[in-house]
């Protein structure tokens, strides 16, 4: 059996995530302590005790999810549980790169914090929003976005799984698309609680700043195959990886396509690793016949 580890992106966070790993596993504690050494002791207090309002701020959310995801991976790594491939959703790509030995955790922490700050600064609060549309085809969601374009910019941001696509853009255009999606027969439309309209052209100003930060750090070839969001394809060349990370900010996440790439590579078992279980749930929509698990709490390791 060939297993892929999947790492979550922003939105999976919650106060107290990873505390049981911190208290139970020395290798997990070492990751949290390293994060505290880079970002300050108050960082751990925020992750474990809140306030939630601070944890929800993008500049804190991103390093927090990265820390929890890597801590959980280190526990499995200590048990000699080696995956055959990895992938991460948006921010989760950084967790996957650390787990694959391509990017050091010490470099990744300030990098994703700056990424969060840059993303937040690119669009004024209230000017952009996102929504998840359930029950419509890819083509129909794309058509809805084109029609709503009369109100401003709105495009698909995440092709998550069959019947679930997230859209992103200027608030008026997203609201128009929500109404059109409901008229087109969407089973459910959920406005997302996000601080910026991720993975759309409004975030293009982030790219140059992020590229500048990526050029300061070392990225190596990953030890296991990684599939990337922005292409839905495998990549190992460090320069291509950097380009993928930059382009990912303002382009849609091809998650379903990425998972189908891994399946074509012979992966027949998937483990969602990190806070939340959304990746496992989406995977069950993509390939319900495969073995799919989620590790979020200490008991899941057992």
- Active-site residues, by number, are 90, 199
Q: What is the 3-state secondary structure (H, E, C) of the chain?
A: CCEEEEECCCCCCCCCCCHHHHHHCHHHHHHHHHHHHHHCHHHHHHHHHCCHHHHCCHHHHHHHHHHHHHHHHHHHHHCCCCCCEEEECCCHHHHHHHHCCCCCHHHHHHHHHHHHHHHHHHCCCCCEEEEEEECCCHHHHHHHHHHHHHHCCEEEEEEEECCEEEEEEEHHHHHHHHHHHHHCCCCEEEECCCCCCCCCHHHHHHHHHHHHHHCCCCCCCCCCCEEECCCCEECCCHHHHHHHHHHHCCCCECHHHHHHHHHHCCCCEEEEECCCCHHHHHHHHHCCCCEEEEECCHHHHC
């Amino acid at each position: 059996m060939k297993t892929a580890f999947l790492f979550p992106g922003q939105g999976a966070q919650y106060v107290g995530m990873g505390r049981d790993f911190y208290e139970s596993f020395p290798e997990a504690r070492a990751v949290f302590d390293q994060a505290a050494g880079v970002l300050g002791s108050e960082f751990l207090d925020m992750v474990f005790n809140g306030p939630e309002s601070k944890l929800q701020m993008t500049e804190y959310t991103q390093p927090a999810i990265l820390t929890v995801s890597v801590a959980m991976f280190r526990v499995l790594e200590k048990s000699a549980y080696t995956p055959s491939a990895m992938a991460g959703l948006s921010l989760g790509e950084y967790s996957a790169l650390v787990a694959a030995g391509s990017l050091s955790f010490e470099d990744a922490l300030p990098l994703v914090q700056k990424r969060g700050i840059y993303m937040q600064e690119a669009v004024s609060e209230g000017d952009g929003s996102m929504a998840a549309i359930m029950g419509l085809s890819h083509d129909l969601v794309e058509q809805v976005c084109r029609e709503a374009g009369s109100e401003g910019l709105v495009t698909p941001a995440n092709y998550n799984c069959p019947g679930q696509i997230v859209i992103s853009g200027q608030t008026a255009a997203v609201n128009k698309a929500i109404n059109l999606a409901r008229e087109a027969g969407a089973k459910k439309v959920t406005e997302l609680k996000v601080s910026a309209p991720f993975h759309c052209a409004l975030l293009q100003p982030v790219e140059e700043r992020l590229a500048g930060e990526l050029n300061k750090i070392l990225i190596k070839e990953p030890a296991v195959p990684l599939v990337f969001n922005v292409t839905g394809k495998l990549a190992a060349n460090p320069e291509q990886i950097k380009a993928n990370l930059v382009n990912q900010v303002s382009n849609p996440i091809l998650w379903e396509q990425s998972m189908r790439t891994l399946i074509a590579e012979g992966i027949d078992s998937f483990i969602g690793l990190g806070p939340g279980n959304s990746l496992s749930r989406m995977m069950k929509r993509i390939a319900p016949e495969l073995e799919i698990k989620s590790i979020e709490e200490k008991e899941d390791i057992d």
